[in-house]
Amino acid sequence: MIFENQYIQERIKKAVQLREEGFNPYPTNIEKGLSSKDFLEKYAYVAEQDADEKKDDTQDVTLTGRLKFVRIMGKAAFAKMEDSDGLVQIYYNRDELPEGYYNKVKKLIEVGDVVLAQGYPFVTQTGELTLHCKRFEIVSKSITPLPEKFHGLQDHELRYRQRYLDMIMNPEIKKTFVTRSKIVSLIRRFFEDKEFLEVETPMMHPIPGGANAKPFITHHNALDVERYLRIAPELYLKRLIVGGMEAVFEINRCFRNEGMDHTHNPEFTSIEFYWAYHTYEDLMKITEDLYDYLFDHLDMSRTLTYGEYEIDCSTPFAKVPYVEALTSIGGVPHDVATDKEKALAYLKAHNVHVDANLTLGYLQSELFDEFVEAKLINPTYITEYPVDISPLARRSDENPEIAERFELFMAGKEIANGFNELNDPLDQYERFKAQVNTKDATGDDEAMHMDTDYVKALGYGMTPTAGEGIGIDRLVMMLTNQHSIRDVLLFPAMKPEAPRPEMAPICEVVNACKKCGNENMDELKPAKKGKGMFCIDGNACKKRQQEKSK
């Protein structure tokens, strides 16, 4: 039972009492009041009045929000209420609310409750602009108490599991997600302004494809077939290019059944876009234009603080060929970077264990991951990727061992991947076969499957096309200075919740007074600091203590 907690039981009783007094603790048809920000700005003039009592009782103002602090002083009370813009103070007393109302609700409406306050602005003796209430009502009763104010909500795992509570206790968290929403909106607007068409493609695929990754598998009952959650929308988007749509994009949710860490979540958001009659050089330029667009519209400096780094995001970005990156940035000797046996020995000497059946391109990828990636701090394009690890990218006409491909790195993380699309159906068929052979030889469950329908689509002729994917989650991490992907996802994937012994003092039900042992819940109240229960009647409690001592 999720409501057995003693403090929750006390609050449930208060909700019942509100109903008994004729007040619905969960009313409807409540209009949102003036925002706290607008209230403080609109009525700032009250503080400038040249009068002993600074107020404007000609005004009628309504505020709505959650109570974060209440101080009852006999016949009057001050409270802080919070809305999406911040905190504002309210004041209410016995004499200016309806007769008998104050005494009925002063102990029933408490911190955590959502309330409506109506009245006029005035300034307290301490100089704070405050709403003097003529009306004060419950909007939604909180039966679960908020965490203790001083400690707040510090447990990261609990914050991710209960994001709603995280946002209540840590309002600044909402700013990250507001920024994320703006970034997604700006990305969409940028591509629409470039006359790209937004499309939607399937999220359940008959075979996994579009990237090297392990898929999630589900079952379609009506068709009695297995389906794979989308790894990437790439192959469907390129089918649309074949069909005559020359500039398309999709802001998509993708799923990869792989490990979780500070930059990986099993489901994530990216944008993929495909542009007929353009090259990967054009993609690098439009990516830089997108960065400039985002920085301008978010009003951000091109020098980005990310943890210990000061990242220079001025365009154009640096461009470094793959093998050159291995040698000049990673410190890998050139003869090692270009020879399979030497690469194997070098990796082994550095305690990087790999399958000896891997091709040189895959070994270069291992070298890159180990010695280069973490050193790419400022935005940097790595170009001329090995064709072995680029099964969907076009081969270079000058060197068939490399692909016309780039990846964009920033703060040691991959942000984007783009290339000239392979549109030769015979070459594509052979690349798929090579992936299948690698899968059979090494047991690599991330290697691509054979997609005969996609090859068939290419058989009808696809215009020269360039395509790119940008990881929106990681981009948001960079632009908001967050170092875990979970901090930019409202509801990140979590392992099943384990018992939380450290929470036992909060969750444990102790239905007895800590002083006298009285177990009658009707005679008990929670301690002010949330540690145990005590008798409401102090004199009766003392008598019981004396009787126990005898």
Beta-sheet strands, E only, within 277-401 = 303-306, 309-312, 318-321, 380-386
CA distance 117 to 288: 49
Phi and psi dihedrals of 237, rounded to 5?
Answer: -65, -35
Q: How are strands ordered across the β-sheet holding 217-220? A: 204-205, 225-229, 217-220
Chunked into runs of 10 residues, the chain (550 residues) has average pLDDT values of 84 95 95 97 94 93 96 93 95 95 93 97 95 97 81 74 91 93 98 98 90 89 95 96 98 92 93 98 98 98 94 97 98 97 96 92 96 97 95 92 97 96 93 81 68 95 97 96 95 80 37 74 59 75 79
Can you state the angle between helices 172-193 and 280-297, rounded to 10 degrees? 130
Rounded-to-integer distance, Cα 507 and Cα 520, Å:
19
Residues 78, 92: Cα–Cα separation, whole Å:
7
Integer Cα distance of 454 and 450 in angstroms? 9
Determine if the peptide bond prior to 464 is cis (ω within 30°). Answer: no
The CATH T-level fold of domain 6-146 is: OB fold (Dihydrolipoamide Acetyltransferase, E2P) (2.40.50)
Q: What is the per-residue pLDDT across 381-423, written as a single tens digit (0 to 9) for each? A: 999 999 989 988 999 999 999 999 999 999 999 999 999 999 9
Burial-class residue 181 by CB neighbours within 10 Å (0-12, 13-18, 19+): exposed
- CA separation, residue 484 to residues 169, 213, 255, 306 (Å): 20, 21, 18, 12
Cα separation, 63 vs 132, in Å, equals: 11
Q: Which residues pair with 83 in a beta bridge?
A: 86
Query: In whole angstroms, what is the distance from residue 539 CA to residue 358 CA?
Result: 81
CA 97 to chain centre: 43
- CA–centroid distance for 179 within its chain: 10
- Say if residues 112 and 145 touch (Cβ distance below 8 Å): yes
Strand ranges across the sheet with 267-276: 197-198, 247-255, 267-276, 465-471, 413-420, 402-410, 380-386, 318-321
Q: Which CATH class is domain 172-197+233-330+372-488?
A: alpha beta
Q: Based on C-alpha coordinates, what's the Rg of the chain?
A: 31
Query: Whole-model pTM?
Result: 0.84
240 neighbors 456 (Cβ within 8 angstroms):
no
pLDDT value at position 501? Answer: 41
Report residue 90 CA to chain centroid gap: 33
Using an 8 Å Cβ cutoff, are 391 and 451 in contact?
A: no
**141, 11 contact by CB (below 8 A):** yes
Query: Residue 44's Cα: distance from chain center in Å?
Result: 36
In the chain, where the domains are located: 6-146, 172-197+233-330+372-488, 510-550
- The first and second tokens of residue 185, run together, are 């909106």
